[in-house]
Structure 1
């Protein structure tokens, strides 16, 4: 597996030699960006300026429309700051009947833009079964067998179509309050999908949020780990979330996602496990902060970069 291919790593800097590399970047989510346009969020210019100033090269698109959707304009904005794109991001609800066209229309936009500026991955996230803000229950918490089989077969189809049409790899992202969140669900999902077309974006925070063991998942399916989101959760907040059955958005407002090394999982041992996989891979810092004051993200990003750089993992690179 070559998760960060030669074509990924040459744009914006020469390929690092001497063995596989964990390329650490950041994402709009770490600047409190959840929507294409929202008055509670930083501007695209602030995000781009500050993520570069914090010492990261690799970024994600965030919600489609937050950053420029014209490839030339986006490429110019990235190049001006020495930034490169690792992935786009999109949600799916393929367990629902007759949902392919709606999902594909969104995926195609994201995949086309990602590929046009040199990205080779699209992170695909299952939509949540309850509204993250209001907590309103939108669907059953668990899928019946028919819906589960529809989801897994259609995600296989999606991964195949994305790669054939745009040359991007589907990285599936388990998520809190979704149908693929717990460790049991993640392992079942991996067992029921095609490794040729679907690999995992292991989000360390969401796995921990849902009570899972990141290293156990890595050890069970090392060949399926294609991409990483690095984050930690605050166990005290998670205990409150579980006790009160709070929706994800409320949990984030309470500080469920916390900067390392203040939460779990412990990242040095996790990164060491990833290093042992002997693959090139992106590890994107993605600390959910919505909503947050505009002066909050940059100092956290700087401290996080310093912390990750000091974890003693030789293959970690920021440029």
Structure 2
């Protein structure tokens, strides 16, 4: 008997327009992204800057296209702020997510981050002392307990240009935080950071509560490192692409998730220039590739167990 695989496939609107780089699809209406995403087969969208931020209005926009709210990025600053300040800052966003049925919140640490600047990636912030890590983890634990009390789990997004970027950073954060802090595993960011995406996912799959399925172009990320590009330069030059269009072994990643009873969203998130990588074509390519794996992996596992 084939074990069910309780996942949905969603997408981030960054395939149509990039919030950090308005020149990349900035004039594309939200309605176009939603209509095309639905036509392709996606079940839901993550938030972007073009979405309404009033709970009822957001529900109406998504319902008009038969879509669900997957989650939404939150720019956290716990590296600099107190837990109390962060809880106050997140309230409106948390209410929006909870009202619209999202079970996880994408937490991105933006304090001191260079991800939205022209600084080269090697200048990213770091925690140099054990007490800095411990203090940060303690604050994150308390913050995550608060969001859980509202029915939404923190999905911590390791990210290029931020405090938690490398495999070692992720290992340390997971070792210091409680189960209340979930991990958003981003295959593209992990590979860009020099990690083996399959190996890192295997270590932390029990903490993963959200997946960003992003592929990479190895030649571009090598150039990014060797030429001291910023994160934004890397994006413009095509570091990322959709699953199945780069070098990451997504079959192995999806098999790990299946074998470990992952339940939740698989989100295609690949920031690219839509002029070079047309939005619909690449969103469809990523969807078809993931859908095929989601259907095929359980059958392969059942055959192996027979």
Both structures adopt the same fold (TM-score exceeding 0.5): yes
SS state of the match for residue 142, structure 1?
coil
Aligned partner of 1:44 in structure 2 is 30
TM-score by length of 1: 0.84
- Match for residue 274 of structure 2 among 283, 286, 292: 292
Find the counterpart in structure 2 of residue 173 from structure 1: 157
Aligned ranges 1:128-147 → 2 under 5 Å:
129-130=113-114, 132-135=116-119, 141-145=125-129, 146-147=131-132
Q: Distance in 1 between matches of 2:260 and 2:154?
A: 19
Secondary structure at 2:37 match in 1: helix
Cα distance per residue 1:60-84 (max 9 Å; x no partner): 1134xx2111221111111121100
Separation (CA, whole Å) in 2 of partners of 1:257 and 1:295: 11
Q: CA deviation at 1:227?
A: 1.1
Aligned residue in 1 for 2:86: 103
1:59 maps onto 2:58 in alignment? no
Q: Structure 1 pair 154/138, CA: closer, same or farther in 2 (3 Å)?
A: farther
| CA-atom RMSD in angstroms | 2.6
Judged with a 3 Å threshold, the aligned counterparts in structure 2 of structure 1 residues 26 and 276 are, in CA distance, closer, same or farther, namely: same
Aligned pairs (5 A) from 1:255-266: 255-266=238-249
Instruction: Pick which of 302-311 and 266-275 moved more.
Output: 302-311
User: Is 1:69 paired with 2:77?
Assistant: no
Gaps of 5+ in 1: 1-16
Shift of 1:193: 0.6
Residue 176 of structure 2 is aligned to residue 192 of structure 1? yes
Alignment TM-score, normalising by the size of structure 2 = 0.87
More helix by share: 2
Q: What is the CA distance between 1:309 and its match in structure 2?
A: 2.1
Stretch moving more, 76-85 or 29-38: 29-38
Mean CA deviation greater in 175-184 or 293-302? 293-302
Gapped runs of 5+ residues in structure 2?
A: 300-306
Q: Which residue of 1 aligns with 2:133?
A: 148
The aligned residue for residue 5 of structure 1 is none
Provide the residue aligned with 1:14 in structure 2: none
Q: Which residue of 2 aligns with 1:80?
A: 64
Residue by residue over 1:58-114, the C-alpha shift from the partner in whole angstroms, topping out at 9 and shown as x without a partner, is: 211134xx2111221111111121100121211222112x45455334422221101
Distance 2:195 2:93 in 1: 29
The answer as to whether partners of 2:5 and 2:263 remain within 8 angstroms in 1 is yes
Structure 1 equivalent of residue 283 of structure 2 = 301
In the TM superposition, what are the counterparts of 1:217-256 in structure 2 within 5 Å? 217-256=200-239
Answer with 134-143 or 176-185: which moved more.
134-143
Q: Aligned pair count?
A: 293
